[in-house]
Structure 1
């Protein structure tokens, strides 16, 4: 009779492989759904496109669509960038000034995005700023990002996330981010977003000289 496995045993390498494969498959499905949704939105408009059409194009069932994106709006507004940025912030040397650390973290986060991912982000940003139904969801996402940045910078500085200094810093950075996004959309992506944002953060870091 075999002995029972310890509940606290370390995962077997094969377990990690299975988990990794499963996560990659889920990420691929999520990406395919979003790509097909953006393609259909561009071809026939956001309002005219249904979840059923997106699911059919992505070769998944509508129920699978809803497992990845609770609503049609979410297929445009949801992304995985905040966790990536948070990890990049925490990886910065503790002696860096706050804005320098944030600027470096944004560079690191953008390095994980290839040209295709940036193109999808541009398409999503255009939709988010032009479709009334999406604007409220974008506001929710901005508040979530503000909270994430405030928590990360407060953690670095050993300050309360609600302190005026932390909130002023995060507010200034979010203003720079929004200005960079608007410029990116106006230029139709001519200047890469990482370049626009890094330049804008540089102005902020230098005290906003004009």
Structure 2
């Protein structure tokens, strides 16, 4: 059927679709809001409506990005995976593992240690008592391992499914998780530790973990 004479042209109307970058920003905003609410009032007492309200979106929007409230925190857990994999690809023979990550560890804006380091530490502490959050935390590391294995295989010129980089990735992944958890378990939860001190402690823990695992990955 022809469009009415003088009518508006047919086609999609309304706001243009969000870019992938903007979607990632919204996911991170939701994650930060969820953490703040989880820490201040507990996971059980927090609702999707409250998380959305803290970000300025509807609960429906929250559920469009995440299947449940616990999974809202995933972006804070997984934000550094791409950075770590890229670093591993650039690892030169004979280069100390700690030196490989030195720039990332030293930067205040690093995806590994800032600017959400305090929120992440608080979140990791919650995984001790919140099984659903613990599941998200462990699943994130489980999903990171193949990315690290691919990077290590590429670095060594080995097939992506070779066993050696898979084992190396498992060792490296476990070291990172142990370091972050060690830092989180020991960090003060009352806010008395300043941001610079928090970053210094996390950086030291990561450096120690990388040094310990270096020989197995050399």
Q: TM range, normalised to the smaller chain?
A: 0.7 to 0.9
Deviation (angstroms), 1:105: 4.6
Aligned ranges 1:114-153 → 2 under 5 Å: 115-153=114-152
Q: Which has the higher contact order (CA 8 A, sep 6+)?
A: 2
Q: CA RMSD in A?
A: 2.9
Aligned match of 1:41: 38
Q: Give me the whole-angstrom Cα distance separating, in 2, the residues matched to 1:23 and 1:127.
A: 30
Do residues 199 (structure 1) and 208 (structure 2) align?
Answer: yes
Deviation (angstroms), 1:58: 1.4
What SS does the aligned partner of 2:128 have? Answer: helix
Aligned match of 2:164: 165
Aligned match of 2:82: 83
Cα 1:89–1:204 change in 2 (3 A) is closer
User: Is this contact kept in 2: 1:77–1:124, CA < 8 A?
Assistant: no
Cα 1:96–1:129 change in 2 (3 A) is farther
Higher alpha-carbon deviation: 175-184 or 61-70: 61-70
Q: Give me the whole-angstrom Cα distance separating, in 2, the residues matched to 1:148 and 1:48.
A: 35
Write 1 or 2 for the structure with the bigger share of helix. Answer: 1
Do residues 73 (structure 1) and 82 (structure 2) align?
Answer: no
Deviation (angstroms), 1:52: 0.8
Aligned match of 1:96: 93
* Structure 1: gaps spanning 5 or more residues: 1-18
Aligned match of 1:16: none
Q: Give me the whole-angstrom Cα distance separating, in 2, the residues matched to 1:24 and 1:160.
A: 31
TM-score for both structures, normalised by structure 1: 0.73
Q: Give me the whole-angstrom Cα distance separating, in 1, the residues matched to 2:33 and 2:74.
A: 15
Q: Give me the whole-angstrom Cα distance separating, in 1, the residues matched to 2:55 and 2:182.
A: 32
Deviation (angstroms), 1:36: 1.8
Q: Give me the whole-angstrom Cα distance separating, in 1, the residues matched to 2:117 and 2:82.
A: 17
Q: Give me the whole-angstrom Cα distance separating, in 1, the residues matched to 2:48 and 2:42.
A: 13
